[in-house]
Chains A and B, each alone.
Chain A
Amino acid sequence: MKKGNYNYIGYSFHKTIPVMLGYLFLGMAFGLMLQNVGYNFVWAFFASVVIYAGSMEFMLVTLLSGGASLIHSAIMTFFINGRHIFYGLSFIEKYKKMGKAYPYLVFALTDETYSLLCAEHVPEGMEEKKVFFWVSFLDQCYWVTGSTLGALVGQYLTFDSTGIDFCMTALFVAIVVEQWQEKETHISTIIGAVSGIVFLLIFGADSFILPALLCAVIALLVKGKADAVFKI
């Protein structure tokens, strides 16, 4: 490891503490579930290294234990992770300049990493690409560690962690509050919230997120066009 990387690790570690808490505990829950259906810690480790998508890995437990067909597995993945199509849109220009880290950054763009990176303002004197890499990489380390530990020792834990998953909700809420400081994007937050709630009521909890995101995209495009037309 080159000298100077330590600053980046320290800085990124501090930024990722909220995700660490969530990923360690959620990862452990996933590892324990996998262990319970007969797949040991090697599977948990391996699955979290190559898949790295929280909610999808909980579905993976069901797919594996039920011996699902490959087509079914693919369809479920598109259904659950389809929202990720929209995340990269904010980072296209940025990630092009990321050099060797580019493919990994794309691979590691989970909900939580996306939200941290959206809120990230890299301090003067630090290289953005290194911060982005370490934030993404540390997040995956937490998830892999949690999954593996959960499969190994999850069954011996007695600490009542019910409700710890709320830290992910709290992270997203805090970032919405931060984004709310900027007046120009109020409309975007409102569009997201309204379309999320409306589509949740129409389609139900399991299938609202893709239509909600699509509707938000369309609403923003319409708003952009209208702004252009009415600009004085």
Chain B
Amino acid sequence: MDIVHSLLIIAVVSICTIFLRAVPFLIFGGKREVPKTVSYLGRTLPPAIMAVLVVYCLKDISLLEGNHGIPELISVLLVVILHSWKKNILLSIGLGTACYMALIQLVF
């Protein structure tokens, strides 16, 4: 293990990550007013990002092999139903996760 090189890798990854998170603030965060288009995106983009993140979490499911993504499907549905009904985020996440763990450890 090359300690200096390892530290440099960590530094590079850290700086690049910080830079990526800072980009919108570097461009639009100054004294100037934020352009209308950007504040429009700021308002409308979050639901789209969350939907993409859900797809991102489920990206490794294979519909044709293994368990066909059935545990994921059931657990996601459970979260949707629980959360539309009770609107309690801890309950939705807790039961959804417990359901998923039980399904993949015991059933599939």
Contact = CB atoms under 8 A, between A and B. Distances in A.
A188 B48 contact: yes
A86 B51 CA distance: 14
A43 B10 CA distance: 10
Contacts of A213: 48-49, 52
Interface string B5-31: 110111111101110111111001100
Nearest to A78: B16
A17 to B, nearest CB: 6
Interface residues of B, number: 67
A166 B21 contact: no
A96 B30 CA distance: 8
A212 B59 CA distance: 13
Interface of chain B, main secondary structure: helix
A175 B96 CA distance: 14
Contacts of A208: 55, 59
B41 interface: yes
A50 B23 CA distance: 18
Interface stretch (A1-9, A69-77, A140-148): A69-77
Nearest to B81: A177
A192 B51 contact: yes
A99 to B, nearest CB: 14
* Residue from A43, A67, A92, A111 whose CB has the most chain B CB atoms within 10 Å: A92
Nearest to A94: B42
B6 A86 contact: no
Interface of B: 1-2, 5-6, 8-14, 16-18, 20-25, 28-29, 34, 37-60, 71-72, 75-76, 79-80, 83-84, 87, 89-90, 92-93, 96-97, 100-101, 103-105
26 contacts: A17-B90, A18-B89, A21-B93, A46-B10, A51-B13, A56-B13, A64-B10, A70-B9, A74-B16, A77-B20, A95-B25, A115-B50, A166-B72, A166-B75, A167-B97, A168-B57, A169-B58, A178-B83, A188-B47, A188-B51, A195-B48, A196-B51, A196-B55, A196-B56, A200-B55, A209-B56
Given A18-B90, A191-B48, A195-B52, 10 more contacts: A38-B1, A60-B13, A70-B9, A73-B16, A88-B23, A111-B53, A163-B103, A172-B54, A191-B51, A224-B44
